[in-house]
Amino acid sequence: MSLITNTEDFLEQTGKISRFAGHFFSHGIKPRFEIKELLSQCYLIGYKSFPLVGLTGFIMGLVLTMQLRPSLVSYGVQSELPVMVGIAIVREIGPVITALIFAGKIGSSIGAELGSMKVTEQIDAMEVSGTNPYKYLVATRVVATTLMLPILTLLGDAISLFGAYIGVNISSVTSLRFFFTQVFQSLTYSDIVPAVIKTLFFGFAVGIIGCYKGFNSTKGTQGVGISANSAVVLSSVLIFIIDLLTVQLTNLIGLN
Amino acid sequence: MPTVLNTPSDEKTGTVTSKPVIVIEHLYKQFGRNVVLEDFSLTVYKEENVVVLGKSGAGKSVLIKCVIGLLKPDKGNIMVLGENVTALNDDDLDRVRSKVGFLFQANALYDSMTVRENLEFPLRRHWINISQKEVEKMVKEALENVALLHTLDMMPSELSGGMLKRIALARTLILKPEIILYDEPTTGLDPVTAREIDQLILKLQKKYHTSSIIISHDMNCVKNIADRVILLLDGKCYADGSYDELEHSTDQKIKQFFE
Ligand SMILES: Nc1ncnc2c1ncn2[C@@H]1O[C@H](COP(=O)(O)OP(=O)(O)OP(=O)(O)O)[C@@H](O)[C@H]1O
Ligand SMILES: [Mg+2]
């Protein structure tokens, strides 16, 4: 189950995925739009992922706070706890963790769903039924993941911060209002905007990789399993690469 | 060596005016180094049932997928209802496809949709302005044709293999296509249902004047419905004639199929 065995393979994969993604812009987002399918995908991809994102976000905020506290106490700056946690969650941990959870849940399900449709010729059947499968299946899913992940991240961030508030409260009583005032005073647009923009790219990556892997699934149950699995692995790696690139980029254009 | 026994069916049926609906000329298709079709030519005339025989892996499914434009041939022309499907843009191809039914070898029913939604899909997709009432009527009619009206709201996973085949057939026929491409319509069915499918194919041919290419290994089915039988061998049309002609052929390679 080697994902990328050598450089040649890697380059070939990269080329094919780029072409697949290029096709999204040249053919996928053109009329007639599959609005109904898009909305149902937004529901499945966004709404249905919310409980998972919320739960992990809450725990992450809580644990992060509890872990940071002792260090801050030893420097005598525990009053800065809300500020530190707020920045860490909003700028980095919230977007990346949410995206990874999202890749695990949605990337694999898209890979498996399209993979099994591919090997059972359901995609061919759509094509002969006057439906462009690229628009109907790929474009709707990619648009849905691209739009839903930023929203999920913002919601996840909010829940994380609430978890952090509880974490702060475990050892010293703080009012909710005071906590959030402190958090928001320390946050600026240059913390929030780049973080939201990068989640757009994360969402796009999860959608396009899931669809690519599904569309290129090989026959048999094993083939479908491999598609789902490699969709998760590849999109998770891509999330980190995109994260690295966006940090460099926002530094370059001085948004820091 | 190829033994072309007979050309157009006109001579047999006596209808000299019969016009070609599918014309395949010098078709080549290969996957990597695997040459599947090599200089394959075939003409199907109106209201004709042409059966394609050939070993497993001979390229029968590839052939009809080329006809409907799911696969692009490497070389050669395919005219369907007067239009060259190898050179059409997406919209024009969809227009041609709305007049061609395709039965997939493994059914290819959408397993996330109910039977009703499966049947509605091609209707709503090809005929965008169709009314809800019309859709309901046509779905019911299509299911009645295959005697499975009671499965309307079931999921494909709840149905048996033979039922799935019949639902797939209903979906193929729902648009009342002028041309139907059947990929093994009776495989996996009990003999009784298989003969019913044969009768259905014949009935449609009579009623709607359809033309068909039928891939089949079921010699009873071939005997019942074929106006003409061709044998696909080594990527070429190895033999072409009526069932009787091929059955009584002395060619060893043809004989194998009729034993
Ligand atoms: N999409 C594809 N990519 C690569 N090779 C393919 C593809 N589709 C078919 N082939 C190859 O083409 C050859 C012919 O396949 P095809 O499905 O047409 O066989 P068939 O005559 O329909 O056989 P059967 O009776 O078993 O259905 C096979 O060797 C198959 O491996
Ligand atoms: Mg086949």
CATH number at residue B46: 3.40.50.300
| Phi, psi for residue A179 in degrees, rounded to 5 | -60, -50
Q: Could you tell me the residue range of the domain that residue B84 belongs to? A: 16-99+218-259
Atom of ligand 1 nearest to the CA of B105: 27
Contact (CB<8Å) B70/A124:
yes
State the pLDDT confidence band at A196, using cuts at 50, 70 and 90: very high
CB B97 less than 6 A from any atom of ligand 1? no
- Which ligand number lies closest to the CA of residue B55? 1
Atom of ligand 1 nearest to the CA of B59: 18
Contact (CB<8Å) B109/A122:
yes
Residues in chain A closer than 8 A to B122 (CB atoms): 129-130
| For testing contact with chain B, the best of A128, A132, A136, A141 (most B CBs within 10 A) | A128
- Across the A/B interface, how many CB contacts are shorter than 8 Å? 45
CB B57 less than 6 A from any atom of ligand 1? yes
CA of B136 to the centre of ligand 1 (A): 36
Higher pLDDT, B14 or B83: B83
Higher pLDDT, A211 or A11: A211
Query: Which of B60, B230, B257 is the best mutation target for the ligand 1 pocket, counting ligand atoms within 8 Å of the beta carbon and taking the most?
Result: B60
Mean per-residue pLDDT of chain B: 89
Q: Rounded to an integer, what distance in angstroms lies between the CA atom of residue A94 and that of residue A110?
A: 23
Atom of ligand 1 nearest to the CA of B63: 18
**pLDDT at B5 (0 to 100):** 47
> Among candidates A199, A212, A204, A239, which has minimal Cα distance to A100?
A239
CB B59 less than 6 A from any atom of ligand 1? yes
Q: What is the mean pLDDT of residues B53-64?
A: 94
Contact B52, B215 (CB under 8 A): yes
State the pLDDT confidence band at B124, using cuts at 50, 70 and 90: very high
Residue B129 lies in a domain: no
CB B56 less than 6 A from any atom of ligand 1? yes
**pLDDT at A4 (0 to 100):** 56
Residue of A nearest to B109 (CA): A122
**pLDDT at A48 (0 to 100):** 94
SS3 A159: helix
State the pLDDT confidence band at A1, using cuts at 50, 70 and 90: very low
Asked whether residue A79 carries a pLDDT value surpassing 80, the answer given is yes
**pLDDT at B116 (0 to 100):** 96
Query: Can you give the residue ranges of every domain in chain A?
Result: 27-252
**pLDDT at B193 (0 to 100):** 85
CB B61 less than 6 A from any atom of ligand 1? yes
Residue B249 lies in a domain: yes
Length of chain A: 256
Percent of chain B having pLDDT more than 90? 73
Q: H-helix or E-strand containing A254?
A: none
Q: Rounded to an integer, what distance in angstroms lies between the CA atom of residue B3 and that of residue B5?
A: 6
Residue owning the nearest CA to atom 14 of ligand 1: B59
Q: Rounded to an integer, what distance in angstroms lies between the CA atom of residue B197 and that of residue B179?
A: 17
Name which of A117, A120, A130 is nearest B125 (Cβ-Cβ).
A130
Residue A119: Cβ within 10 Å count: 19
Contact B148, B167 (CB under 8 A): yes
Widest pairwise Cα distance in chain B? 57
CB B33 less than 6 A from any atom of ligand 1? no
CA of B230 to the centre of ligand 1 (A): 18
Tokens of A123: 């995609």
Name which of B90, B112, B125 is nearest A129 (Cβ-Cβ).
B125
Residues in chain A closer than 8 A to B90 (CB atoms): 132
Tokens of B147: 């005697």
Residue B224 lies in a domain: yes
Q: What is the mean pLDDT of residues A66-91?
A: 93
Alpha-carbon distance B97 to nearest alpha carbon in chain A (angstroms): 6
Residue B110 lies in a domain: no
Percent of chain A having pLDDT more than 90? 79
Tokens of B37: 């079709």
Contact B81, B19 (CB under 8 A): no
Lowest mean pLDDT among B40-44, B55-59, B201-205: B201-205
Q: H-helix or E-strand containing B37?
A: strand B34-45
Higher pLDDT, B61 or A32: B61
**pLDDT at B128 (0 to 100):** 86
Residues in chain B closer than 8 A to A131 (CB atoms): 121, 125
The DSSP bridge pattern shows strands B49-53 and B211-215 to be parallel
Higher pLDDT, B80 or B18: B80
CB B241 less than 6 A from any atom of ligand 1? no
**pLDDT at B103 (0 to 100):** 96
Task: Report the number of distinct structural domains present in chain B.
Answer: 1
